[in-house]
Chains A and B, each alone.
Chain A
Amino acid sequence: MEAHSSQSIASLQYADPQVDELLKHSIRTQLESLLKAKLTTGQRQLLLQKSFVDAMTLVLSNTQVEHLQLVYAFEAMYDQAVQSMALAQLSQEQLTRQYVSASGLIMSPHNCKHTIKDVYRIKGYARGIDLAIQSKLKHASSITILYPACGPFAPLLLPLLSYYKDSQIFTSKQINVILVDVHPGAILSLQQLVKDLQLDDFILRIEAADATEYEPAESIDLLVLEAMQHGFTKEGQLSIAKHLVQFLTLDGWMIPQNVSVRGMLVIGETEFNQQWKEVEYSHSLNTNTSAQQDRVELGEILNINKSTLLNMQELELQDGVKVIPASKIKLPTGVKDMGERILAIYAHIDTFADEGVEQYDSGVTHPRPDMTFYIDAKPRDVEHTHFVASSGDMVQFYYQLSGLPGFVPVKL
């Protein structure tokens, strides 16, 4: 009796989170509005669910939606999600720990929390995942989705599941999700968010594990993965994908279905500055024709999809560093301003069907200049480990899997 009555009081309680100072500092406005509104837990959960459903309604709509409308909808989602994070009562240590693991950077929940505002990445993924789920559920009564390295908010899936639940398009009987993250802070936050979204029925498990080692007992129909940064560097996308594809069913899909990483030689000022002078926000639709024409494309350096992953040859170098060979590229000749150009690497993501994330749509597809790569020019200082080559040289690219992943060029 005691327990029962105190529980029902608890569920009626107003939110009064004991939030760590650092989180409080960075989300003060959201907390203030939470406390000012004097919402009951139920009311807050409703607002949270609504913000997730609203954002997905816009994203999945086939009529054009204004950029700002999307931005506001995603900010509303963020404002609500961080309240759940606050209620999860992460310690300062759980909130801020960030480190480099053997296979890539593990970001702190404090830094990860912003990815839920990355409009066009989430849009490209959510629309693709939606199509893939629809397609799978045409032939199956239920599917299992694995979402490794999902971060504290699992933003590629939880909004979509909220939308399904709200619109009753799919039920929790049809969709079973396994969320995996190695960061204890992300796990705590996920548990609270899933509870607040009342999505427990859709979630098979929340696993605290390293995704490069995790072995699911079930076979997986959809593997949803986004663990990368610009230039396909730093995070362990490739190691995670390479390990987990083996758990996909024969006709299982990885989302993104294809990631194409490309290189180009650009004049930094034109590509990264002039091109964006007159546009409202950076997006593949807003690139500038003359800047695009000024690029010298090198073509694809690496292609990641289910079949390339299954065939990848991993090499171990003397110092224990693991690499995989990527493309061999002949540096173009006859480019008169070659000495002034810099190498920039960018990813093009096809999530599913025609959906995707193109260059400049998101931080993860933003071209990344490599200031250590010199063609027909001398490095400014000698101390560092620069790569120096000339027009016409053949360059073999390797992709380093260990430590902080990234490309390593070698002259042939």
Chain B
Amino acid sequence: MQKFAVFTGSCQSLPVVQYLLQTNQLACVVLVDTQQNYDLMQLQHWLQQSAIETLTYKCSDDKGLIAQLDRLAVNRGLIYLFRHKIRPALIQYFSGHLVNIHPSPLPDYRGPFPLYWQLRNGENTTALTLHQVTESVDCGNIAADVEIEIHPFDTMNCVQYKVAQALPRLVEKFCQLDEKQEIKWRNQEGNGSKSAPQVEQQQLIVNWHKQTSKQVVNMARAGNVDSGCALFQFRSEAFQLLQASVVDSALTGVQAGMVIEVDRQNGLVIKTVDGALRLDIIGTQQGVFDGYRFAVLFGLEAGLSLVQKDF
């Protein structure tokens, strides 16, 4: 009989909790005792309402937690959106039955921001991957995965929603294999070619000298609307770029970062290294505008550059 402890810090894992609850396999949910945030508070509230036992993960050591897990006869651990490195004692407690769900086709996109980087790199599919927890993060053997399509217009919230929808399917698949003792653990081959590190502030600023139209489009999409919002600079101020689209341009002799058109229908068009880009939606201190209105209000004209100062 499998008894699961779910390690999480976000409501996005509710589909898993619910599934395990319904199938009578849930022992408890383990939450971190860190700073409160709205997401965590909502989760706590829901758990309380549903009378689900919650345990606290201490940042200091695992002794107390392990004792409590033992008391509840927990023999399976599932981690999702937990954002804390698991210590060896806990890994040992589960003796191979502690798994993590990571939203990427591992070994690609290991790291704390997998969905962000997949959107930013314009991937058109992702996967939810369930793998064994080992001491090196996101590297353990894989038991099951499900593929998820990414629509070209999907934002972070869109894919997060799709991921939430796919979660119970993945967990169900895993539990059934587990029950029948048919799990075939497979190695992660290699280290993957893409990673998903913390996003640095500098990486959020559009680099007109280097980025292609497509890259800027995806960067805007990945950060819409999130703390990872793409930014572009104009007159030493930063503006949020929430949506952009690739447009054709045969212009030569114009440097990337130059405004090449301001037009009510065609919008605000910027030259890029490989063509041109329309800035569709821009966030400012004064409000959110389409490119045309932004350009008119902020005095951004064709012939001005977002890169060079004009004299």
Question: Interface on A for B, CB 8 Å cutoff?
Answer: 22, 92-93, 96-100, 102, 105-108, 111, 234, 319-322, 368-369, 371-372, 383-385, 400-405
Let me know if B258 and A404 touch, CB within 8 A.
Answer: yes
- The residue in chain A whose Cβ has the minimal distance to the Cβ of B311 is A369
Please tell me which one of the listed residues A96, A371, A384, A402 contacts residue B263 in the complex, with CB atoms under 8 A apart: A96
Is the pair B252, A100 in contact by a Cβ cutoff of 8 Å?
Answer: no
CA distance A400 to B209 in the complex (A): 20
User: Does B254 contact A404, Cβ atoms closer than 8 Å?
Assistant: yes
Q: Cβ of A404 and Cβ of B303 under 8 Å apart?
A: yes
Query: Do A404 and B209 touch (CB < 8 A)?
Result: no
Partner among A96, A372, A403 whose Cβ is within 8 Å of the Cβ of B251:
A403
Of B253, B302, B308, the residue contacting A99 (CB under 8 A) is B302
Across the interface, do A98 and B301 meet the contact criterion of CB distance under 8 Å?
A: yes
Residue of B nearest to A316 (CB): B252
Bound form: Cα–Cα A322–B252 in Å: 9
Asked if residues A105 and B264 are in contact (CB atoms below 8 Å), the reply is no
The answer to whether A384 and B308 have CB atoms under 8 Å apart is yes
Which residues 241-274 of B have a CB within 8 angstroms of A?
Answer: 250-255, 258-265, 269, 271
Report whether over half of chain A's contact residues are helix, strand or loop; otherwise say mixed.
Answer: loop
Contact B309 A96 (CB under 8 A): no
List A contacts of B255 (CB < 8 A): 385, 404
Whether the pair B301, A111 counts as a contact (CB closer than 8 A) is yes
B47 contacts the other chain (Cβ, under 8 Å)?
no
Nearest opposing residue in chain A for B262, CB measure: A98
In the assembled complex, the CB of B56 is this many whole angstroms from the nearest CB of chain A, namely 49
Task: Report whether A368 and B254 are in contact in the complex, using a CB–CB cutoff of 8 Å.
Answer: no
Interface centre among B252, B265, B269, B309 (most CB of A within 10 A): B252
The distance in angstroms between the C-alpha atoms of A401 and B309, with both chains bound, is 21
- Enumerate chain A residues within 8 angstroms of B137, measured Cβ to Cβ: none
- How far, in whole Å, are A374 and B250 apart by their CA atoms in the complex? 31
Contact between B303 and A98, CB atoms less than 8 A apart: yes
Known: A93-B264, A99-B260, A402-B253. 17 other contacts (CB 8 A): A96-B296, A97-B261, A98-B263, A99-B263, A100-B251, A100-B260, A106-B302, A319-B252, A320-B252, A321-B252, A322-B253, A371-B311, A383-B209, A402-B251, A403-B251, A403-B252, A403-B253
Q: Is B307 an interface residue when CB atoms closer than 8 A count as contact? A: yes
Q: Contact check, A100 vs B264: say whether CB atoms are below 8 A apart.
A: no
Q: Are B263 and A92 in contact (CB under 8 A)?
A: no
Bound Cα distance A321, B250 (Å): 11
A208 to B308, CA, bound (A): 33
Taking CB atoms, residues of chain A closer than 8 Å to B308 are: 371-372, 384
Q: Which residues from A are CB-within-8-Å of B307?
A: 384
Do A93 and B263 touch (CB < 8 A)? yes
B260 neighbours in A (Cβ, 8 Å): 99-100
Known: A98-B261, A105-B302, A234-B303. A404 touches B311 (CB 8 A): no
- Produce 1/0 per residue, B205-217, CB < 8 A to A: 0000100000000
Known: A400-B253, A403-B252. A99 touches B262 (CB 8 A): yes
Closest to B307 in A: A384
A177 to B272, CA, bound (A): 41
In the complex the two chains form, what is the Cα distance from A405 to B269 in whole Å?
19
A405 and B252 alpha carbons, distance in the complex (Å): 11
Residues of A within 8 Å of B262, CB to CB, are: 96-99, 108
Identify which of B250, B251, B261, B311 gathers the most chain A CB atoms within 10 Å of its CB.
Answer: B311
Across chains A and B, which 7 residue pairs bring their CB atoms closest together, nearest first? Answer: A403-B253, A402-B253, A403-B254, A99-B261, A98-B302, A93-B264, A100-B260
